[in-house]
Chains A and B, each alone.
Chain A
Amino acid sequence: DIQMTQSPSSLSASVGDRVTITCRASHTISTYLNWYQQKPGKAPKLLIYAASSLQSGVPSRFSGSGSGPDFTLTITSLQPEDFATYYCQQTYTIPYTFGQGAKVEIK
């Protein structure tokens, strides 16, 4: 199975900050990498697919980059509604695996 490792596991940031979350795959996955946002008690929401494509309706302050084993999710100018947990997911091969999550908290 492909292991997905996110870092950091949690971070504290302020409104307006630039936030970067990384995700590393244990094997090459090309750009078969998606990012999801999850708020407490809610279902995950797709943000980015294919490493860098912004899902329709997602604010442009969210962006993704990377290929092969290393990927990045960037939030420019963090907004109050962005405090949540973020997960990466590989769909290169089944079993589709998720990272352990990165919780973005208010500083």
Chain B
Amino acid sequence: AQKVTQAQTEISVVEKEDVTLDCVYETRDTTYYLFWYKQPPSGELVFLIRRNSFDEQNEISGRYSWNFQKSTSSFNFTITASQVVDSAVYFCALSEATRDDKIIFGKGTRLHILP
């Protein structure tokens, strides 16, 4: 079955702290994509990253980093030195080539960065 689990419903941290958002996925496909999206209060989805199943290299983009581990079916997202503007809902998602690239979203983690 295709499934994405974000166990953390809501997280609050003080500004400048590091925070990691967890994502665990399930799939039977060998070819799939994993995503992270940010949804600020405006509602518009902001694309953060897409990673294919054959590329397990970790990625860093500024204060953002992602850790992809196929052995544990996890694709965790870390924000370093968090800022108030990082406050949003973050969705982890999965798509499978055999399912016409339909994107299945996790339930999201609401992140509050406190000043």
Task: Tell me, yes or no, whether A binds B.
Answer: no
